Amino acid sequence: MTTPVTPGRRRLLAGSAVLALALTAACSNSSGSGGSGSSAAALTGDCAKYQAYAGHSGTKVTMYASILSPESDSLEKSWSEFSSCTGIKIVYEGSNDFESQLPVRVSGGNAPDFAIIPQPGLLAQMVKTGKVVKPPQQTVDNESKWSPVWKTYGSVNGTFYAAPMSANMKSLVWYSPKAFKAAGYEVPKTWADLMALSDRMAKAGAAKPWCGGIGSGTATGWPATDWLEEVVLGSYGGDVYDQWVGHKVKFGDEKITTAMKTVADWMQNPAWVNGGFGDVKSIATTTFQDAGTPILSGKCAMLQQASFYRAQWPKGTNIGPDGDIFAFHLPAVNPQVSNPVEGGGEFLAAFADRPEVQAVQNYLSSSEWASSRVKVSQGWVSANQGVDKSLYTDPIDKLSAEALTDPAATFRFDGSDLMPAAVGSGAEWKALTAWFAEGQAIPKVAADIDAAWPQ
């Protein structure tokens, strides 16, 4: 899955609260009952830039997502000035059970004003309920800052519903440059080199080559879908990947079962995993947030995980090419596949069209908001072309932004996120979890997923 779902919640830092109070004092706002920015009282000082969104002071909108602390801290901080200046309170709730609970809330008449949806397949499911509201014209106009393919991901049957919020680079391997240097290891450039390095590490015995975790509440299993997607894309390229996502190539097809065997040789090799936690089965019970921690203690060497994992490293971790932690691009399984890059993203869908909801929707689809999020975040990248790339100061963010915008890359969106929700965020998560937890045979795993595909 694209974005990840994380346990635990953390309140905003006290400094953010102080900033909000200061901004409230510095800015003025109307308490209008839903007029446009042009008819609202003038905002002054630092708040003047939010004039287009003014006129809704004293209102509240609700936001529901799978993004939890610490990643959600920067999310809430990114709109704190907007909220203080306009007087629109954004009440955010993150849940580890988002994918299962959103349909329940919507069908039960308790939909949030907004949902940040990381799966286009889940977006399509929500649109079928008739509860998703089409965005206002300004949000539609803001899409000129995104490449057409991203607007496609936020559309269902050709109709645009949900503006992209973020993009993330999936095809990364996290490691310790300091540990590599001390052991005389070099960053591998090919899949064969990566496998040879893994074997070398295992024989050295100091640390298991790989650690991993696919635990994520009701979304348990999604990291395993990424591993399979990386191998399918890196083995066969974009065309086969697209056919697989559309179920023209089934999970039971020889190409996909061969890819699953490649994943098993890699992440189910008992000599290679699961450093710091246990055996292969422990991958199913280890949360994805905890999965990389043994790298810092020298118990494992590498973790395949997306750019947003940047937010999971403890505060004070030196992240960089010569630091405690850094990442390299996962090589293609087949060297004939040019620079495979898997990415994910999040999309803002609205279930209400009150004026204050539309004001927030317009702001969160703008380059200005994307830039504000970049400024307060690490491990967060936007595909919004209106963002000045010089704002990316974190080395992982720079690496990710370059990969996601590389015209020579074989880029594809997260496959399970594009599949129908019953498959990509349902049967596949469950079957791949059973594959790791119970050692189910590949043909059985593939058959279970294919059987869940909507007719």
| Residue 113 domain-assigned (yes or no) | yes
| Residue 4 domain-assigned (yes or no) | no
60/139 same-domain check: yes
Chain segment 96-120, per-residue pLDDT in tens: 899 999 999 999 999 999 999 998 9
How many Cα atoms occupy the beta-carbon half-sphere of 213 within 13 Å?
22
Position 348 pLDDT exceeds 60: yes
Q: Residue 320 is encoded by which pair of tokens?
A: 């960089």
The mean pLDDT of the chain is: 89
Instruction: Please give the pLDDT value at position 234.
Output: 98
138/53 same-domain check: yes
Burial (Cβ within 10 Å: 0-12, 13-18, ≥19) of residue 453: middle
69/126 same-domain check: yes
36/140 same-domain check: yes
Residue in the block written with tokens 């299993």: 221
52/143 same-domain check: yes
Q: Residue 312 is encoded by which pair of tokens?
A: 């999971």
| Residue 249 domain-assigned (yes or no) | yes
124/183 same-domain check: no
Q: Could you tell me which residues come within 8 angstroms of residue 93 by beta carbon, excluding any fewer than 6 positions away?
A: 62, 63, 64, 65, 112
- Out of 2-16, 314-328, 408-422, the most confident range is 314-328
| Residue 440 domain-assigned (yes or no) | yes
Largest pairwise CA distance in the chain: 71
84/185 same-domain check: no
Q: Residue 450 is encoded by which pair of tokens?
A: 């294919």
Interatomic CA distance for residues 376 and 290, integer angstroms: 23
Interatomic CA distance for residues 260 and 311, integer angstroms: 29
- pTM score: 0.78
377/425 same-domain check: no
Interatomic CA distance for residues 213 and 257, integer angstroms: 22
Q: Residue 430 is encoded by which pair of tokens?
A: 């469950």
| Residue 7 domain-assigned (yes or no) | no
335/348 same-domain check: no
- The number of domains in the chain is 2
Interatomic CA distance for residues 217 and 169, integer angstroms: 22
Q: Could you tell me which residues come within 8 angstroms of residue 278 by beta carbon, excluding any fewer than 6 positions away?
A: none
**Least confident piece of the model among 244-258, 272-286, 306-320:** 306-320
Instruction: Taking each helix axis as running N to C, give the angle between helix 254-267 and helix 191-204, from 0 to 180 degrees, rounded to the nearest 10.
Output: 30
Instruction: Please give the pLDDT value at position 2.
Output: 44
Please, which pLDDT band fits residue 327 given cuts at 50, 70 and 90? very high
Instruction: Please give the pLDDT value at position 40.
Output: 77
Q: Residue 138 is encoded by which pair of tokens?
A: 């300004």
Domain housing 192: 172-342+407-451
Residue in the block written with tokens 């203690």: 297
Strand boundaries in 56-162, DSSP class E: 60-65, 89-94, 114-117, 155-156, 159-160
**Least confident piece of the model among 26-40, 149-163, 380-394:** 26-40
Instruction: Taking each helix axis as running N to C, give the angle between helix 442-451 and helix 254-267, from 0 to 180 degrees, rounded to the nearest 10.
Output: 130
Q: What is the DSSP string of 247-260?
A: TSS-TTSHHHHHHH
Instruction: Please give the pLDDT value at position 7.
Output: 35
**Least confident piece of the model among 7-11, 232-236, 307-311, 353-357:** 7-11
**Least confident piece of the model among 147-156, 325-334, 398-407:** 398-407
230/125 same-domain check: no
Instruction: Please give the pLDDT value at position 5.
Output: 41
Chain segment 114-138, per-residue pLDDT in tens: 999 998 999 999 999 999 999 999 9
Instruction: Please give the pLDDT value at position 23.
Output: 37
163/50 same-domain check: yes
Position 21 pLDDT exceeds 90: no
Interatomic CA distance for residues 40 and 30, integer angstroms: 6
| Residue 3 domain-assigned (yes or no) | no
Chain segment 368-409, per-residue pLDDT in tens: 999 999 888 877 788 788 888 888 888 998 888 888 877 788
Interatomic CA distance for residues 334 and 330, integer angstroms: 12
Buried b (16+ CB within 10 A) or exposed e, 368-382: bbbbbbbebbbbbbb
CATH code: domain of residue 258? 3.40.190.10
Interatomic CA distance for residues 438 and 107, integer angstroms: 34
Q: What does the CA dihedral 307, 91, 143, 66 come to, rounded to 10 degrees? A: 40
| Residue 8 domain-assigned (yes or no) | no
Instruction: Please give the pLDDT value at position 39.
Output: 61
For residue 209, the surrounding DSSP H or E stretch is strand 208-210
Buried b (16+ CB within 10 A) or exposed e, 417-430: bbbbbebbbbbbbb
Q: Residue 141 is encoded by which pair of tokens?
A: 């106009």
Position 291 pLDDT exceeds 80: yes
| Residue 5 domain-assigned (yes or no) | no
